[in-house]
Amino acid sequence: MAKSIMLQGTMSNVGKSYLTAALCRILRQDGFSVAPFKSQNMALNSFITPDGMEIGRAQALQAEAAGLEPSALMNPILLKPTTDVGSQVIVNGQVRGNMRAAEYFRRKKELIPDILSAYEQLASEHDIIVIEGAGSPVELNLKADDIVNMGLAELVRSPVLLVGDIDRGGVFAQLIGTLELLEKSERDMVRGLVVNKFRGDISLFRDGISILEERSHKKVAGVVPFINCDIEDEDSLSEKLTARIRGGVIDIAVIRLPKISNFTDLDVFSQYDGVSVRYVTRASELGAPDLIIIPGTKSTIADMKWLKENGLADDIKLCFSRGVPIFGICGGYQIMGRTISDPLGSECGGSIGGLGLMDCTTVFGSEKTQTQVTGRFGDIEGFFSCLSGAGFYGYEVHMGETENAGAVLTDRGGSYNGNAAGCYVHGIFDSADVSGRLVRALYHRRGLTYGGRSVDRREYRNAQLDLLAENVRIAIDMELIYRIIEEGV
């Protein structure tokens, strides 16, 4: 059976996901067979495994760091919020149904056998399991039925590293306060502390380390600097969603839908000099971009209604009439059509008119499409003719089925109409051929020439994981980490 180490955080977005990825890569580099595990994830950024199972995007990235194909074993429970009080519940990669939060909390202990079965299978196949917690382990009103933080650590007898985010301030209160709120048996499982996202001269924090160790009676396993590497975010708290980036030669405006999903589809453009990506939430922010992208959403009808109510729908159509190219992915593709209907209430029910930029209609049913894909763009007219014949890879994950009466975009479906195009493929821009052609066409549209090189997103991501691991290895006491793993609890 594998040994394990678990990363828990003092709050959401302290960097647990990328530290888990870093440890997976470091342990792999050191010759171990290592796998990531997160018992329960709540995220709208998901991924489809080679066998068609749906898991959190972070676990797919961590699997890549570990040199493995992603598997539903790595994330047996995925919650995808559909409203503020309800989620689609995915167990072992397949939809179990929609549940209100209160119902899920009543029933989630029923999922412990699924969690343990997945963990035990992983543990039988690998040397070390790196486990990621979720949020904070001391949400006292929810703690009794915990299956993702200390509850899981106790179930699988895993030692814990507690991670605090110094960049957000109050790291002493974060770490020491969290420990104080744990039961003694839980505190005993915490074998080390990590101070994450430190900016500036780390030598100035020596007294801070001493204070933490004296007050907590725990070793500080490392002070990790704010690492400048381009690792995909999963969390809705991602800074990229609120950054107001302007000033690039090419301005890409992404509509930040209330239930935006898989915004990692747009990360590829960060590889290109002179291209800026900004997320737009109101009509006054849209302006006159070079390209508009409408991304995926977990609640297409509700988000289409939001577009109409805040004026963005009219402004997007105005941009289209002026020749601005617009591309929709998954839910964004559905939004760009004529109508969207949900007769079975698969998401929120009802029917609504779309933007009407393409001649297609979408109807939601009870079956969910979950598959990895490869394909090729067809012979396209209009702005997106730049993509004609280009090969792509990615995955589809959606409830609706779209009937297209217009021109077909790719050999995997999709539609286009002049400067509007859309399809269901997440990761459609990730290949160097697709993103490179698109960026060069956007430059050409401005009368300019792009002189940089195109980079495949998978190759780029792999290099960034190496960079992350290199920096974390320097910052973390790996001798202590190995001792914690070996000793267990």
Q: Which residues does residue 297 pair with via DSSP β-bridges, in sequence order?
A: 260
Q: Are 274 and 209 in the same domain?
A: no
Q: Are 116 and 207 in the same domain?
A: yes
- Return the pLDDT at 102: 87
Strands (DSSP E) along 149-226, which ranges?
160-165, 190-198, 220-225
86 pLDDT exceeds 90? no
Q: Are 217 and 297 in the same domain?
A: no
> Which of 319, 330, 360, 386 does the annotation list as catalytic?
330
What's the pLDDT band for 485 if we cut at 50, 70, 90?
very high
**Residue 399 located in a structural domain:** yes
- Return the pLDDT at 105: 86
Q: Residue 169: how many CA atoms within 13 Å on its side-chain side?
A: 0
Unique residue bearing structure tokens 């796998």: 35
Q: Rounded CA gap, 138 and 148, in Å? A: 12
- Return the pLDDT at 366: 85
CA geometry: angle 329, 42, 400, nearest 5 deg: 35
- Condensed to tens digits (0 to 9), the pLDDT of residues 458-473 reads 999 999 999 999 999 9
Q: Which of 256, 265, 178, 160 is nearest to 215 (CA)?
A: 178
Q: Are 328 and 392 in the same domain?
A: yes
- Condensed to tens digits (0 to 9), the pLDDT of residues 306-332 reads 999 999 999 999 999 999 999 999 999
What's the pLDDT band for 236 if we cut at 50, 70, 90?
low
Phi, psi for residue 411 in degrees, rounded to 5: -75, 0
- Are the beta carbons of 45 and 263 closer than 8 angstroms? yes
246 pLDDT exceeds 60? no
Q: Rounded CA gap, 401 and 276, in Å? A: 32
Residues in the chain: 489
- Return the pLDDT at 40: 96
244 pLDDT exceeds 60? no
Q: Which residues does residue 354 pair with via DSSP β-bridges, in sequence order?
A: none
Q: Are 108 and 257 in the same domain?
A: no
Q: Which residues does residue 131 pair with via DSSP β-bridges, in sequence order?
A: 6, 37
Active site residue 126: no
Q: Are 172 and 284 in the same domain?
A: no
368 pLDDT exceeds 80? yes
Amino acid at 421: A
Domain holding 221: CATH number? 3.40.50.300
- Which of 205-214, 263-272, 340-349 has maximum average pLDDT? 205-214
- Return the pLDDT at 234: 63
Q: Indicate the angle between helix axes 457-475 and 57-65, nearest 10 degrees.
A: 70
What's the pLDDT band for 245 if we cut at 50, 70, 90?
low
C-alpha distances in Å from residue 487, one per residue of 131, 161, 482: 16, 14, 9
Active site residue 319: no
Helix and strand numbers (H, E) in the chain are: 15, 25
Tell me if the pTM is above 0.85: yes
- Return the pLDDT at 240: 58
228 pLDDT exceeds 90? no
Q: How many domains does the chain have?
A: 2
Q: Which residues contact 460 (CB under 8 A, 6 or more apart)?
A: 230, 268, 271
Q: Are 171 and 312 in the same domain?
A: no
In this structure, are strands 413-417 and 407-410 parallel, antiparallel, or unpaired? Answer: antiparallel
Q: What percent of the chain has pLDDT over 70?
A: 97
Q: Are 336 and 478 in the same domain?
A: no
Q: What percent of the chain has pLDDT over 90?
A: 84
Domain holding 289: CATH number? 3.40.50.880
Mean pLDDT for 87-114 is 91
Which strand ranges, in their side-by-side order, compose the sheet holding 350-353?
Answer: 350-353, 339-342, 360-376, 391-404
Q: Which domain holds residue 85?
A: 3-231+462-487
C-alpha distances in Å from residue 395, one per residue of 58, 235, 434, 463: 15, 20, 15, 22
Mean pLDDT for 241-268 is 84
Burial of 157 (0-12, 13-18, 19+ CB in 10 A): exposed
- Condensed to tens digits (0 to 9), the pLDDT of residues 375-402 reads 999 999 999 999 999 999 999 999 889 9
Q: Are 199 and 278 in the same domain?
A: no
- Return the pLDDT at 378: 97
Q: Tell me which of 33-42, 59-68, 106-115 is least confident.
A: 106-115
Compute how many other C-beta atoms are within 10 angstroms of the C-beta atom of residue 415.
25
DSSP 3-state percent helix, strand, coil across the chain (nearest 5): 40, 30, 35
Q: Are 165 and 22 in the same domain?
A: yes
**Residue 240 located in a structural domain:** no
Q: Are 44 and 193 in the same domain?
A: yes
- Return the pLDDT at 346: 78
Q: Rounded CA gap, 229 and 334, in Å? A: 33
**Residue 476 located in a structural domain:** yes
Q: Are 198 and 256 in the same domain?
A: no
**Residue 114 located in a structural domain:** yes
**Residue 41 located in a structural domain:** yes
430-460 CB burial, b ≥16 within 10 A, e <16: bbbbbbbbbbbbbbebeeeebeeebbbbeeb
Mean pLDDT for 64-81 is 96
**DSSP structural state of residue 404:** E
- Condensed to tens digits (0 to 9), the pLDDT of residues 148-195 reads 999 999 999 999 999 999 999 999 999 999 999 999 999 999 999 999
